[in-house]
Structure 1
Amino acid sequence: MTQEAVSMASNTIPFRSDQMPDLNFKHIVNLTDLTGIIQHALFSMPNRKEGYCIDDNARALFFTVLACKFNRKDEIAQSLLPVYLGFIHFMQSDDGYFCNFLTYAKEITEHRGSEDSFGRTMMALGFLINEGPSHFAVKTGQEIFAKAYPHVSSLVSIRGMANSIIGICQYIKYHYPDDRKTEMVVTLSDKMIAMYKASKRPGWSWFEPVLTYDNAMLPLALLNAYEITQDEEYLTIGLEAMAFLESKVFVDDKCRPVGNRGWYERGGKPAQFDQQGIDVMAMVLLYQQAFRITRDDQYLQRMQQAYQWFIGENDLGLSLYDTSTGGCADGLQEDAVNLNQGAESTLAYWISHMVVVLGLSE
């Protein structure tokens, strides 16, 4: 961490540079072969029986873009980026949509992947196009993005829409101004606003009648849409939904993401376990964007507090990040961490790590 970043951190909360582990991409390399990143692990061993998915390869692509942004000469990230981009290209069908799952024997197991995986892929491609480290990688990302883009208008999954909005906003930043794609941002954002208004009740300011996974990606999409369109309604509802979510996932200034063992239905109680790293990563990304557009230091503070969930500031006081392997545990259970170090959780940690370092230096 730079001296400037350390100074900025000290102005928000006591967060020393030595509390952030050193860069260690060993486990990401361990999970990656010439095809892509293997989605699951048995402890720290890649579980080849489970194969690959585009969800994790999209996250891995996003990670390498951030790692190259942090250090343009990072040889590991530079070598891994084309592997993940090549996987995404391989998984794109002739019609432009993406399949999600690939066996270790290189067999695609479905005709079409989920809308969520489609949106995550569009988001990663958008960041590659806007911030990619090489001309040819950006050009490749543009071709894949353009082929998939016609499917965006038919999305009905709110997470598919939210991730796609973020990806399109990144694309627009690179091609600014791009009025035609701005129209798509408005169309998708207005759909999200309609869902928010239909679901909102006294004491429940959210897009759905239940809090499940990747929750912070929803207000994050609206804050990205505001940055592009300057539509005040997107900002107002984005911040309102963020404040509601924060009220449900922070306890005594510690992050407690909604557990996937039951979720949190409106009128009920939130499940405390199993807590997942991708939900914390989404919170880190949300606070980074909130700070970027408001310059309010409270969001830097929350960003750091969310990140520290990975390194022990959580309900059990246990670190999910493993300094010996560079991997991250697959979740926080009622009495322990899940010792498997899969791609999703490990990438969630390293994306969060990169975002915190880059966010502090902005």
Structure 2
Amino acid sequence: MTSPIPTRTQVAIVGAGPSGLLLGQLLHKAGIDAVILERQSGEYVLGRIRAGIIEQTTAELLDEAGVGARMHREGLPHDGFDLASDGGRLRIDLARLTGGKRVMVYGQTEITHDLMDARAAAGLPTVYEARDVTPLDYDGEHPRVRYTTQDGLVHELQCDVIAGCDGFHGACRASLAPERITTYEKVYPFGWLGLLADVPPVAHELIYANHERGFALASMRSMTRSRYYVQVSADERVEDWSDQRFWDELAQRLGPETAAHLVTGPSIEKSIVPLRSFVAEPMRFGRMFLAGDAAHIVPPTGAKGLNLAASDVGYLARALVEFFKERSTLGIDHYSQRCLRRIWKAERFSWWFTSLMHRFPETGAFGRRMQQAELDYLTHSVAAQTALAENYVGLPFED
């Protein structure tokens, strides 16, 4: 690193994923200094294949941060999606049901790239490959973060606030004594086998399929790159799934009418994502604040993971602006409560949508009939469709 490593900042952000980068950019726009510490290399961070459905509130936050131009230029706005089951298709018209709201298809990798570029252009400090990150003294007014650089030297970063944006396995939550935090978790007995390929998507909007063989999702990253998923048991191995086996299974679950339009090709990436619901509370510990996956995980069915992280960051950025610019602690005092109200609603929606669309072997024939009844109710109830649409596009921020 050619520039000197900072030893003092206002906000030490641990984690250079989209939540940490977005927080850094919002604080920069507000004139607040922040240093980002990241355990991995920048190339590794950009190589993560993650979410691609952006809520309107997240898009607005990216605009506020000044990094939304490419998203609006290259992203795909979607006004609805399809639910498929037992040979039938139901379109959930998001725009009509929510008064014009929509979602945007724009990959998390692209958001990360945009935020990295903005940070580099502004000359803002990010320390990559920071090992053994340890947050210290955050119960007092002078917290610090100790870490080791890639050349083996130990450094300390003095700060006023620590933002733990370092993910589920990060150092910030792990630094807490167990009695200070309560966790809630549900681990699902299956995962998603995902395949990314440079082929046109099978449809212009997403298709969520409930099939007797298991769930499937037809998604996309662009009009030339598709992302598909099939539900698999928790003990499946990627090595056992050739590309052909995946395409054959996907075609069965999407049904013959949709499969007739399916374009197949070699996979760019293939992986299995386990499904879990997880919440840690509270999210504030003195001068340290958790955000994103450090505090919560949702199953990907409802496309809430990245969007929840963004809403945490939105609350935290506003709270820190109040703290540093207005000398008010009101925002940071209520940060955890505000975030958790939104988090638990998103957890509920993701749990419900996962329960509706996946096969749960332990529920047997009764569980299957309950799913069919729920889907039939959705098909014939505008109120039920509206509730689904309102949650899918993202609930509004609350004070």
Which protein shows a greater Rg? Answer: 2
Length-normalised TM-score, structure 1: 0.27
Return the structure number with greater helix share.
1
Return the structure number with greater strand share.
2
Length-normalised TM-score, structure 2: 0.25
